[in-house]
Amino acid sequence: MRIRLFHLLVLAILLLSVSMGLFYDLSYYAARTSLIETKEIDHSQSEDLAISCVAVNTSYVAGEKAVFYFEVVNLRNETIRRIDYTLRVTALSLLGLRLLETSEYSTRTYMMGVTERLVVERDLPTITPSGFYALQIVAKPEGLDPLEPCELVIYISGSNYLMGLLTFALLLSSSLYGLLTVSAYVRRVGLESVRPNLRNFASTLHSLDFCVEHVENRSIEVLHGFSIGQRFIFSAICSLLLAGFSLALRLHGLADQLAILTYFALVIGVGNLFWENYKEARPPRFRLPFPLRLTLSLFLLTVLLYLSLPAVSTAFVVASCAITAAAATDSIFGLRRRSCQ
């Protein structure tokens, strides 16, 4: 018996909400029982540069805007025109897990003995679990050795908005899963019952279940019938929806990467649509078979993502490479089967 898509979706939401709720509860308990203390200011100095890192607040709620500032003093006789900064974020209350490492730079003119203040504001992701987080900042003046890292420790408490969303998802999915389970039992027992009312109710449930199954089957048939261009455009729409959801959770970095993926998928999809609409006017030797064109389109997407690596995570490139390899393998075996036939 085939697994129903609607049942699978409800079960997936239920398991996801339960696992995320347990994870956030455990992280809250680990943070409350931890002996770690916050640290709002730290200094680092070398022969060429002195830097002070300050956290405006040491306690935040996930989803808020965190504000930090750096005070930089040039100790050299020469002007410093660029300083590279590396930020490493570590979850201290989650077994020291490294969460983020990013690099930025400042191109101000740092005169000798003049204090320059840099203000940094960042929106904390709404999905951030409760705990203590260490922020290590490493400054490296252009052409000089890097300084010893400055370390700040802040506490972030979980978002009430996210917990409410998880609670709503848990209640909704558990209620739906319970209704589906009861409905399956009533259909199985009611159709064999001698009571007319129960038999009619079971027949109604069976008709509703048949309608849902018919909608699922038709949806799968429509998706299977999509051309390559339509598949890429449909993927772009799904990526755009995920980007909007990421923005709602203040995951701006992920939303930007999904927006780049959406743009590339739309460009490749529109190009394939033009190719498909004008295929009748092309000579036979210029008509690429479906599997080969799909592989070439995925390969082009992989190349575009690879060229965008500074702005796109390596995980997107690896996933695209894996999908391209699977499509290439399938196209090779498909062409062999056709040649044998």
pLDDT above 90 as % of the chain: 16
- Tell whether the model's pLDDT for residue 81 goes beyond 50: yes
- Tell whether the model's pLDDT for residue 66 goes beyond 70: yes
- Tell whether the model's pLDDT for residue 1 goes beyond 50: no
pLDDT of residue 172: 92
- Tell whether the model's pLDDT for residue 206 goes beyond 80: no
Of 54-63, 271-280, 319-328, the one with minimum mean pLDDT is 271-280
- Asked whether 296 and 228 are in contact (CB, 8 A), the reply is no
Mention every residue, 6+ apart, whose C-beta is less than 8 A from residue 111: 74, 79
Domain ranges of the chain: 5-25+162-224, 41-157, 228-340
φ, ψ at 94 (rounded to 5°): -120, 55
For 106, 119, 126, 189, 218, the CA distances from 224, given in Å and listed in that order, are: 50, 52, 36, 36, 10
- DSSP letter string, 104-130: EEE---B-BT-EEEEEEEEEPPTTPPS
**8-state DSSP, 312:** S
Alpha-carbon distance of 228 to 209, in angstroms, equals 32
Nearest to 246 by CA among 256, 236, 237, 260: 256
Verdict on whether the full-model pTM lies above 0.95: no
Nearest to 205 by CA among 216, 213, 195, 215: 213
Strand partners, 137: 87, 150
pLDDT of residue 300: 92
Task: Give the pLDDT confidence of 226-236 residue by residue, as tens digits.
Answer: 888 889 999 99
The CA-based angle 224-241-3, given to 5 degrees, is 45
* pLDDT average, residue stretch 322-340: 71
- Tell whether the model's pLDDT for residue 244 goes beyond 60: yes
Sorting pLDDT into bands at 50, 70 and 90, what band is 268?
very high
Nearest to 91 by CA among 134, 51, 61: 134
Q: What is the number of other CB atoms lying within 10 angstroms of the CB of residue 308? A: 16
- Tell whether the model's pLDDT for residue 211 goes beyond 70: yes
* pLDDT average, residue stretch 106-128: 85
Q: Which residue has the higher pLDDT, 331 or 256?
A: 256
pLDDT of residue 103: 82
In terms of Cβ atoms closer than 10 Å to its own Cβ (0-12, 13-18, 19+), residue 80 is: buried
* pLDDT average, residue stretch 65-88: 87
Mention every residue, 6+ apart, whose C-beta is less than 8 A from residue 154: 38, 55, 57, 58, 59, 60, 66, 132, 133, 135
Q: Which residue has the higher pLDDT, 284 or 101?
A: 101
- Tell whether the model's pLDDT for residue 338 goes beyond 70: no
Q: Which residue has the higher pLDDT, 40 or 103?
A: 40
Sorting pLDDT into bands at 50, 70 and 90, what band is 194?
low
Q: Domain 41-157: give its CATH code.
A: 2.60.40.770
